[in-house]
Amino acid sequence: MARSWFPLLKNYRFEFKHLFVLLVVIASFQIIVSYIHKTSLENLLYKTQDWYQLDSAERLANITATSLELLLETTIRQHSINDSKRIIQAFNIILSQQSLEHDVQDICLIIDNGTNRYVIDNGQLFYAYYFTSNPTMQKPDSNQVKYLTLYNTYRKSLITSERTISIQDEEEAFHVLVPFVPKGEYAGALYIQNTPDFSIITQEIISSYDEVTIIFASLIFLGLLAMFYISSFTVKERDEAQDLLLEETEKRVKEQIHHQKETQFTHRIYHTHHKAEKIMGFIKEDLYQLRSENIEEIKYRVEKYANFISRVIYDMKWYDPPVQSIRNPIFQTDLNEVIQFIVTHIFNRVSDKRNNYQFQLELDPKLPIININEFVVWEIIEPLIQNSIDHSNKEKGIVVNINTHYDMTRNRSLIRIRDNGMGIPEDLLQKDENGIKKIFLEHSTTKASLNNSGYGCYIAHEISTQRCNWKIDVENLSYGGCQFILEIPN
């Protein structure tokens, strides 16, 4: 059973932080459990102490009251005038002996004859009340007045139940009233104020428990530190091996990315290289046709051709050219002019038209100037037009419609390139996980050979979206053919 769990545990990676969290959790639990246990122990000890204090105070009061009752009954049967001193001394001994107790604050006998109540706290008063005919009782002091008030409060309960009554005040003192019943007749109550103190025992027990808790927690803490110390070496070696593996993987991935970039760069240059060769042929042809009467026209075309060749050469030096060489306020490009030049002096100039095609231009004169290099625009539009021509295998004439429109409400310029060809296969219109249609991906083509194919739409999409911040889309038309849509923010 243990072996079946081992492969599962190997899937988890434990770090120093995991061990540290485990250490903190266990230590926290130990502190919480110790605190709860200590609180429970303190509550138990305090409740036990209160019960024992109450029981101790009541026992002391009962013994004292019983002693006074027995002494009084014995003395009355054997009383003589010559025994007065001995009787007074006996009563004083009983009362004073209890007063000598450490926990007893006061003791007195409250006599109740039905009409009057007297407080007796010494043998002379006790003897005078029970053994003389006209006893003279002293006036109670302030404390004795409190005792009489407490007695009056519980008098009825003492008479009816003849049971000990104990009251605990806020200062943890017990006020005990024990019914005084000599010869079986209710005669009052014995009052004792007792404050038993067992806090020393409680503190000793709690201190001992704290010591045990500290020792136990220290042992757990030292054990966890030892585990942490041992595990740290194991984890450190594993992390070093993983770091080396990550470095090697990172190096290999960088090499793959670099190789992929170089491959893409090579294909892109090759894709534009044959266009540059075609443009060079146009330049040679114009130079052969140079006359005095057409010098300005040829100069205009050759300048455009030469600038395009310069752009191709510039692109050969950079895989990712600087942004300012693409978008810059110094560029004042007229989209209509670029489209007109490409159609007139590139596609319509080809002497051998293997496909019978023609162009329809619907150019909006309100189209604003854009701050994009015109030859970058050329690199975007030319592959899209070429795609409409190459993939329109109709026996009848191919018509390519290029429409420009300025949307004033959205401040957007739109370029639509439509054709009446066969349209785009539906599988190439599907989007990948990044939301890009497959026709704009690398190597996406309907040509039989994949060598150096499938880069026209890919390059147009890459330049327009990544470098010019344009939007590009393609869709099939209901009457046949397809249309590319370029949305240009102004």
**What pLDDT sits at residue 451?**
47
Please give the structure tokens belonging to residue 110: 């409250």
Q: Residue 100 has what pLDDT?
A: 57
Handedness of CA 56, 61, 66, 68 (dihedral sign): positive
Distance of alpha carbon 312 from the chain centroid: 52
Strand-pair category, 398-407 with 357-362: parallel
Residue identified by tokens 């050469």 is 313
The pLDDT, as a whole number, for residue 336 is 93
The count of other CB atoms within 10 Å of the CB of residue 189 is 29
Question: Are 178 and 190 a contacting pair, CB within 8 Å?
Answer: yes
Domains of the chain from N-terminus onward: 16-197 (3.30.450), 331-489 (3.30.565.10)
pLDDT on residue 450: 45
Q: How many residues can be counted in the chain? A: 490
Q: What is the DSSP string of 287-305?
A: HHT--STTHHHHHHHHHHH
Q: How many CB atoms lie under 10 A from the CB of residue 7? A: 8
pLDDT below 70 — which residues of the chain? 1-19, 49, 76-83, 97-102, 136, 170-172, 196-199, 201-202, 260-261, 263-274, 316-319, 350-355, 392-396, 443-454
Report residue 27 as tokens.
């230590």
Buried/exposed 399-428: b ≥16 CB within 10 Å, e otherwise: bbbbbbebeeeeeebbbebbbbbebbeeeb
Q: What's the confidence (pLDDT) of residue 77?
A: 64
Give the per-residue pLDDT at 448: 45
Q: What is the pLDDT of residues 79-90, one digit of tens each?
A: 655 667 777 777
Q: Rg (Cα) of the chain, in Å, rounded?
A: 56
Please state, in angstroms and as integers, the Cα–Cα distance from residue 295 to each residue in 58, 288, 290, 344, following that order: 134, 11, 6, 18
Contact 308, 375 (CB under 8 A): yes
DSSP state of 39: H
Residue given tokens 């024992």 in the structure block: 52
Pick the closest to residue 173 from 192, 154, 194 (CA basis): 194
Measured distance CA(75)–CA(86) in Å, rounded:
10
Sheet holding 188-194, edge to edge: 117-120, 104-112, 188-194, 174-180, 165-168
Token output for 203: 């503190």
CA-closest candidate to residue 475, choices 397, 419, 403: 419
Tokens, residue 360: 């329809």
Output the pLDDT for position 340: 93
Tokens of 213: 């808790």
What is the per-residue pLDDT across 448-473, written as a single tens digit (0 to 9) for each? Answer: 444 445 577 888 888 899 889 999 99
pLDDT at 87: 75
Give the model's pLDDT for residue 364: 93
